Amino acid sequence: MRLGPWRPSAPIVVAAALAAVLLAATAFGPYGWFIDEFYYLACARHLAWGYVDHPPLSIGILAATRAVLGESMTAVRLPVALAAAATVLVAARIARRLGGGPRAEWLAALAVATSSMTLVMGSFFSMNAFELLLWPLTALVFLRLFDENEPRLWLLIGLLVGLSVLNKHTSAMFGVAMVAGILFTPARRHFLTPWPWLGALVALAIVLPNVLWQWANGWLSLEFYRNAQLGKNISTPPIRAVMSQVLFQGPGLLPVWAAGAVFLLRAPRERSWRALGVAFVVLFLAIVLSGSSRPDRIGAFYPIVLAAGAVAIERAAARHGRAWYVPATAALLLASGLVVAPITLPVFPPAQAAAYTRALGLLPPLERGKTAPIPQWLADRTGWESFIDNMADLYRTLPPEDRKRAVIFAPDYGHAGALELLGPGRGIDARVISNHNTYWIWGRGLPQPQILIAIGASRKDLELLFENVELARRDYCDYCMSWRNNMPIYIARNPRRPLAPFWELHRNFG
């Protein structure tokens, strides 16, 4: 039989377009590295089963990427762009599994592709892009389990849940919410069989190496999460929390995901789809009532309810004889994506992005006490090249003997990682240390530095450790987060007491 020409389906086209946009923004956009990427690359050079602030799965992916493609910005961001594109395809598949036709599939794909969360998380390397894929993928397996009553799928669910937690500890919330949802449906009968418990053992086996790392290192991540809750997360009263959920998905997507949540909750009693609706409500209420949780914490669930919303809209169009519902929704999604693109994608230069942000009036804060004229996910891509140039110029002013003995202290993993990645190309060959998160572990046991170039340190603390402390210069950046601007850089000489005891007492987890 002669096959006709291959024509890609609409979801494949949407996914490919999204990946192309994300990679083009990296290759041709006016921004550089994102602050966390410096740190993740440093972690990829120190492979372990755990880190202070995250588990190791995403770092393993990054290490493999480095080994094959190198450390260029485009190479580093390729896996997250592909993960975002794959999320589009999974959402379309969920819509099909929920009984949607071709129009629902491509509408689900378009909704995910134009979501602010997808555009932001797919534009720089982090574990969030993989979470955005893993939750919907797990939900798709749940739907197949519900529809086909194939208990062995619990093993695959255990695998995916284990990988999710090995990617982000907070993904355990998804597993808890799904259990709560299943208890409200006929699918709870599965808990009377051994299969869910075998799946739980699979998940535990995957996470166990990280648990053992935590145990061996004194459960450092618990301290990190406690500090983040107390000193990092902003206060979010219920109304503000709801508005943050709307904004972080994109205002134009509200009708779709709201319709999706209702569609799942109103599923017939015998259909276990309702478990997904209940799980979403559990997570949504947890965020709204927590009082201080980040709005992106449950972002990975939205592709699921967006897919359900696409099916609901397709069915409403058929039921009411309103064929225009689907194209009208698609137009709304595209318009919403275009409106938020200048503040979600790294395409507009900082000055224009700042002006657009002011005109739009949407600048959601993510962390306490940190401000910038542009959103944090753009602001933290600015100022790094000028910082490295400033440090290289200072480093060259030191006598050759001082350069050999100098150690550079950075106050956070971003400055430390930037110096390690970009510094050698500017002639900075000194060892870099930091007491921030996992850098604190890597700095333990350091030989006493004779000369310390200290960025953003407390002069009072330096004078306790060194006899001579001088302010060498300051580092400025126009569009970066406020805490990075006007940062002092000291040169400290002639140690008066050892650094090691001070280091043990002054770790910065947060």
What pLDDT is recorded for position 2? 44
Give CA–CA dist 144/97, Å, rounded.
Answer: 8
Angle between helices 35-45 and 413-422 (to 10 degrees): 70
User: What's phi and psi for 150, nearest 5 deg?
Assistant: -105, 100
Give CA–CA dist 226/458, Å, rounded.
Answer: 24
Same-domain status, 388 and 344: no
- Determine, yes or no, domain membership for 372: no
Same-domain status, 288 and 330: yes
- Determine, yes or no, domain membership for 87: yes
CB 381, CB 418: distance < 8 Å: no
Same-domain status, 300 and 438: no
Count of domains for the chain: 2
Which residue range forms the structural domain that includes residue 455? 384-505
What pLDDT is recorded for position 269? 60
- Determine, yes or no, domain membership for 280: yes
Question: Of 304, 325, 360, which residue sits at a domain end?
Answer: 360
- Determine, yes or no, domain membership for 371: no
SS3 394: helix
What pLDDT is recorded for position 7? 53
Give CA–CA dist 241/290, Å, rounded.
Answer: 9
- Determine, yes or no, domain membership for 374: no
Give CA–CA dist 484/372, Å, rounded.
Answer: 10
What pLDDT is recorded for position 5? 52
Q: Which of 328, 268, 280, 274 is nearest to 304 (CA)?
A: 280
Same-domain status, 52 and 179: yes
- Determine, yes or no, domain membership for 348: yes
- Determine, yes or no, domain membership for 379: no
CB 189, CB 232: distance < 8 Å: no
Taking 70 as the pLDDT cut, the residues of the chain under it are 1-8, 231-234, 269-270, 292-293, 362-369
Same-domain status, 347 and 402: no
Question: Which distant-in-sequence residues (6+ apart) come within 8 Å of 335 by Cβ?
Answer: 252
pTM of the model: 0.93
SS3 34: coil
Same-domain status, 398 and 350: no
Number of other CB atoms surrounding residue 1 within 10 Å = 2
Same-domain status, 461 and 316: no
Same-domain status, 352 and 429: no
Same-domain status, 431 and 345: no
What pLDDT is recorded for position 362? 67
- Determine, yes or no, domain membership for 394: yes
Same-domain status, 342 and 259: yes
Same-domain status, 299 and 402: no
Give CA–CA dist 107/314, Å, rounded.
Answer: 9
Same-domain status, 396 and 355: no
Helix ranges, 98-235 (H): 102-113, 116-121, 128-148, 153-167, 172-183, 195-216, 220-231
- Report the relative pairing of strands 431-434 and 451-455 from DSSP bridges: unpaired
